[in-house]
Amino acid sequence: MPLTRWLAEYAWLPDHAEPTRDVLIEAEDGRITAVTPLVGGGAPMAGVEVLRDAVRLPGLTLPGLANAHSHAFHRALRGRTHGGRGDFWSWRDGMYDVAARLDPDTYLALARAAYAEMALAGITCVGEFHYLHHGPDGTPYADPNAMGAALVEAAAHAGIRLTLLDTCYLTATVDGAPLTGPQRRFGDGDALRWAERVSAFAPDDDHARTGAAIHSVRAVPAEQLATVAGWADRNGMPLHVHLSEQPAENDACRALHGCTPTRLLADHGVLGRHTTAVHATHPTGADLALLGESRTGICLCPTTERDLADGIGPARRMAEAGSPLSLGSDSHAVVDLFEEARAVELDERLRTRRRGHFSPVELFTAATVAGHAALGWADAGRLAVGDRADLVTVRLDSARTAGVPPVGAFFAATAADISHVVVDGRVVVADGRHRTVDVPTELRDAIEAVTS
């Protein structure tokens, strides 16, 4: 890939409290090779000829955004499950209806469109929490990893990177009730057979990596938690887990095991620097200490958590305890990491009735470098030499951002303000349009195929 230069009107550089004006960014073979702030309109040690062939990026340029928690097929539920009464458990019935209809071909089409929508929103890497493994009745496909392969292909078509968090899902409840109905396609029988299946799948494209996930303490019996965690550790892979998303999960765990889900995970070696707990909406003070002391990350998904009436997690206390925070769009009720980042701060304001819990830099970090780290891409999320050439440019002249200082973008911009997206040095979105996918049309067609 030839040398490419971009001239960013503003760029948010590592260790800077706010964006820097007029920055020349150079990349070759998908890696950033130079980041040069300009002085007085001209670059030191670089003349006019260098600037002449640079692609100009008006607005604020950020490193790529990382969506650390996704269920791609949930995109088909948008606008269909938001009305009426109920809670997470009633919403889940509608989700299972869609899950039962998918096969490798329809999943490829739906995920391709969903991931392309993420690209339009500035997301350059996604963590797919994947548990739709087998046929609707639980029978494996001829290729037991056909559904995972469809997701890898979908991300390639959409132009973004993927960490396929292959999820162990064995039981329906904390006390070990068997999988029934649509849940049957999630299961591998036991954790050893799960590990055997996942070990046989190795994406051969540089845009995709495999990770592991424990669906929840409801879905993996306590005696098998260490098997999943040990497999992830031996293979150097990130490990994710849904944790304390609803109070009912905590109550059931206490009733059976005499402890919280966090304590159960800690006792079986699940927590640690390479583990990310998703949601953690209802932790105790002792849970927060366990998560923080082990440096277990927390992935917050505020738009989903409020859509499902799950509650507001103690984000500030999590960060102060030592847990790195990342962000996810989860059910894709909204695909907008600016909104997720804002919500971390704004939900804290609602919970505490005080303002000013997170600085713009903290929110920026959660949406970029921390999210990439949680997905196993330590070389992404910064505009720095040697890192992946992921650039996301936000318009500062839209109806939402006009007159807003660049540092305030996380409190003003939306996904609709993204103008350009570069992933590994390749242009994926230009002037607000995906280069290869007609996103609205493909979303409409893919969703109709699994809901009509």
Cβ(197)–Cβ(165) under 8 Å?
no
The pair of structure tokens assigned to 417 is 């303000």
Is-catalytic flag, 279?
Answer: yes
Place of tokens 């669906």: 215
Could you tell me the CA-to-CA distances from 98 to 63, 150, 183, 377 in Å, in that order?
A: 34, 17, 12, 31
CA separation for the pair 127, 129 (Å, rounded): 6
φ, ψ for residue 112, nearest 5 deg: -60, -45
Nearest to 382 by CA among 31, 108, 135: 31
Q: Which entry of 71, 279, 282, 420 is annotated as an active-site residue? A: 279
Q: Report how far apart the first and last C-alpha atoms of the chain are (Å, whole number).
A: 44
Choose the catalytic residue: 22, 287, 330, 336. Answer: 330
Retrieve residue 298's tokens. 């927390």
**Cα–Cα distance, 124 to 392 (Å, whole number):** 9
Question: Could you write out the three-class secondary structure of 313-370?
Answer: CCHHHHHHHCCCEEECCECCCCCCHHHHHHHHHHHHHHHHCCCCCCCHHHHHHHHCHH
Q: What is the dihedral of CA 204, 205, 206, 207, to 10 degrees?
A: -130
Active site residue 434: no
Look at the alpha carbons of 186, 189, 194, 197 in this order and tell me if their dihedral is positive or negative.
negative
Residue 379 phi, psi dihedral angles, 5° rounding: -100, 30
Catalytic site positions: 279, 330
